[in-house]
Structures are given as C-alpha cells and as structure tokens.
Amino acid sequence: MTEAVLALDCSGDTYSVGLLVEGRHQTSIDGLKARAALRDLPGHAAYLLKNSGLNYESLVAVGVTRGPGSFTGVRLGVTLAKTIAMTAGCGIAAFDTLSVMAAGFAEGYDRGQVAVALDARRKELYCAVFDFAELETVVKTDVRTPADFGALLGECSELKVLVGSGFQAYPSLVPTGFAGLLGGGKRLSQPPVVTLCEMTYQAWKNGQLQPWGEVVPEYHRQADIQVSVKPLV
C-alpha cells in the first residue's frame, strides 16, 4: 500500500496544499489566495496526486490546520479536509495552527522555547508558547491582548525563537535583550505545509487520526460579523 498523505492550510491570507509519499515530501502548491480555496484547492490536490501517479483512494490521511486564524479560511480548510477524507475513506490529523508554525522552527533545536503570535486584529493576538522538546505546550493557544502576552513572555526564561505577524505588529512584545531568532518572511503568518505534511504522516504512523466527522474548527473567539436569522412571519 502506498503511504500518501495530503495536507492543507487555509488559516491565513493564502492557502497551501502539499503531498507526502512514503514519508518523503513529494510536492506542494502554496501562496494562493485563501478565499479561492473552495473553488481551486480540490483541483490542485487532484493535480498533485495525479502527477505522482496517485488518486484520492491512495491517501492514508489528510492533515489540516483547525485554527486559530482567518474565520473564513479555517472553516474552508476544515470543510475541504473533511470532504477529501470522506472521499478517500481515511482519517484526519487536525492541528493547532500555532503548533505547526512552532514545529516549522524546531529543526536544529533540542531545547528551549518558541513563542508564536499572530495579529488577530481588534488589538488582540492569537498566541502560544511551546517547548521544543516534543512541542509541549508552555502557554496554551488563546486570544490575548499584547500586554497580557508580553507579561507571559516575561516569565519564559528559555525563549529561542519568536515567530508570527504579532511580533511585527507589536514590536514591544520582543523581550528586552532577546538574542534568539525572530522568524519572518514567508513563515511570518502561516504554517509551512511541508511541516504539516510531516506531522500528518507521524500522526498516521502513531494511530492518532480522527474520524472526519469529529473534526471541528477552533476559532478561539466570535467572528467580527455576527449573522442573526429572524423567522418569517
């Protein structure tokens, strides 16, 4: 049996989809507008599979970021992952977005901590701190004000990496005297799909997949726009 996993992320302004076969990263497509994911991502996923001589039935797992992030993007990503998993007849590995971003910087570190902060607007952050050892949670993922997260960072004595758009939006979050890595560029606001593929493969190997019907988005707060439906009289 071919061990193929497909992973997708729509949590930010762009979306990514990647394919890993037999434990090795095969190919990926990224940098595309997340709002077009519902229309374009299934075709891109099928293209990656076809180019590798595979189809949806070849998949043993589908990986996805379940949030936090863009409300529309997270909802689309989870919905598409569930649809693909249902078609393929496989389970899903759904990951906290910030944990995947942290894992993307884990290579080369056997100890220390990584802080992830995404600008959530409304003068708030989606933020967390992880230990590089097994990516254990030091500060759980939640919505916080910059001041509150800054206070928590002040209690973290082993920070090696700071990553995320939150540190760009609020430079004062960077602790005084911090001499570690301040992650930027493409990995500033979204998780790397290659890392998501690898985490999905490991989840499958370890028997940690969820049935597609049990996976739900994790928004961590209410949407900016609330829609109410009034009954017709």
Find the mean pLDDT for residues 25-50.
85
Number of domains in the chain: 2
Alpha helices per DSSP H over 20-164: 37-51, 71-88, 97-103, 146-153
Find the mean pLDDT for residues 158-179.
93
The pLDDT assigned to 187 comes to: 52
What strands, in cross-sheet order, belong to the sheet with 91-96?
24-33, 14-21, 4-9, 59-67, 91-96
Q: What is the share, in percent, of the chain residues with pLDDT greater than 90?
A: 70
Whole domain around residue 129: which residue ranges?
A: 105-188
Domain-located, residue 221: no
Domain-located, residue 228: no
Domain-located, residue 129: yes
The pLDDT assigned to 2 comes to: 83
CATH at residue 208: 3.30.420.40
